[in-house]
Structure formats: structure tokens, C-alpha cells
Structure 1
Amino acid sequence: MRSVLCVCAIIICFFNIAINSGDALRCYSCSAVTGQRSDCQRNVNTNTIQATFCQPGYPSCMTLVMQGNITRGCAQINACHVLQHQHGFLSCSTCVPDLCNDQSYNNSITISSFSLPLALLMVLYFSLKMIIY
């Protein structure tokens, strides 16, 4: 029974990798002076702001507000932590799903595509364990 469970886990992992390979995160990318009416302000005008694909090493989207400026784009995981010590820092947030930096987010992170198969595998495992014992 455990070998069947292991085979199922391996199949789910390979299926997940096959589906998500080559998928790059997309983020809105813009910069503007705060206080001016701009498409990059508090709620991004998604019709006019460009969405860009993030490069490897930039696995999250960011919205950064520094004194006088707002910037949206791709970021490294610890970008907000590093930037909070800069002069003029007001706020910073990162998020993971595609195009999530269209508003003011507070470090929102969604469940990764790997988490769902893992959760299903755990439910299957414990269900089988209860049936056997």
C-alpha cells in the first residue's frame, strides 16, 4: 500500500512540474510621482500599465512607496526588508500571484501550485491509513 502511495506522490510531483515549468511570474511595472493623477497610483489602471514577466531570482511582485514616488514591478523575496532602511521609505508590499501588485497589498502570498497536490496527497495518505488500521 505504501508503494502505491509513493507512486502517486511521484506522479503528482512530475505532473505539477510539467504544468508549471516555464511559467514566469507577471507583475505590473510602472513608476510615478505620488500625488499626481497617474495610472500607476493607488489602483493601477490595468488597461494602460504594462505587465512584465519577472526574470529568474525575482519571484514576487512589489509595490514600493518612497517619499514622492511609487514604484511597481518584480522583486526579490527580501526586497521590502532591505528597502525599509532607505531614506524616504513609506511602505512596501510584496505578493506572489500574477499581476497581484495592482493595489496596495500587505505581503499577500497565495498557496503555491505545489501545495494543493501535496494537501491532496496527505488527505489520501491519512484516509488510507484509517482504512487499513
Structure 2
Amino acid sequence: MPLEHCRIIELPKIHDPHGNLTFIESDNQIPFAIQRVYHVYDVPGGAERGGHAHKNLHQFIVAMSGSFDITLDDGKDKKKFHLARSYYGLYICPMIWREIDNFSSGSVLMCLASEKYDETDYFRRYDEFMRARWAA
């Protein structure tokens, strides 16, 4: 899929004097059914995450706390997104290389995924991703 399929999605935000509430429902706010949820935290200063692509997995990434940058690459174009609010997130479709960096102190990344973990779904080397990307 081309990079333009990846996009920021604003989530519902219910205002309340005692604190706001945001929710995410499968196949409603995001374009897939959620099979797995995980979060990344305590990322050391200067560290990077990502550095891979998925063959079939769809993901939705939210900055639950703090901020970070995600650079997406479809093999032709690149685009950088800055995530810093818990009421919007980034939808990433399959066959998109991602790099995540510039984590602020105390940041928490939450990822909703369309499939359970499967190592065979990963491209961990950029050259292998590029060969597969342009083979189709």
C-alpha cells in the first residue's frame, strides 16, 4: 500500500470536569479489528525503535504520554509524524517501513495491532523490504 493510506486519526474526546475520556473501538475509529495491544515505555534518551516493516499487519499508534516522532517510508516517499496527544494516533498499513525516535522523557507509546505477534510477518532489513515492495 502507498504511504498516503497511512494517516493521523483523531479519536473521540469526551470532555468532563473530572477528566477527559477517549475510546477506540475495533473497526470503528480504526480500520481493523484489534487482536493485540502493547505499549513501549522507559525508552532511553537518544534511542530509536521500529526499524522494520510488516507484510500483513495493520497498526494504530498513540502517544499515551509524552511525545515521539515516527518516520514512514513506502520505498518511494517518506513522511514524518509527531505524536504528542492521547486523543489521536497514527494508522500504519502493511508494507510500510517505520522508524520511531525523539522520545520525550516519560513517553508511553501504545500500539493496537490487527494480528497476534508473528515473527514471519516482519521485514527487519530494509533491503529485503525494498525487494519485496517492488516485486509486486
Which TM-score band (shorter chain)? Answer: under 0.3
Q: Could you tell me the TM-score, scaled by structure 2's length?
A: 0.25
Higher strand share: 2
Q: What is the TM-score with the length of structure 1 in the denominator?
A: 0.26
Larger radius of gyration: 1
Higher relative contact order (CA 8 A, sep 6+): 2
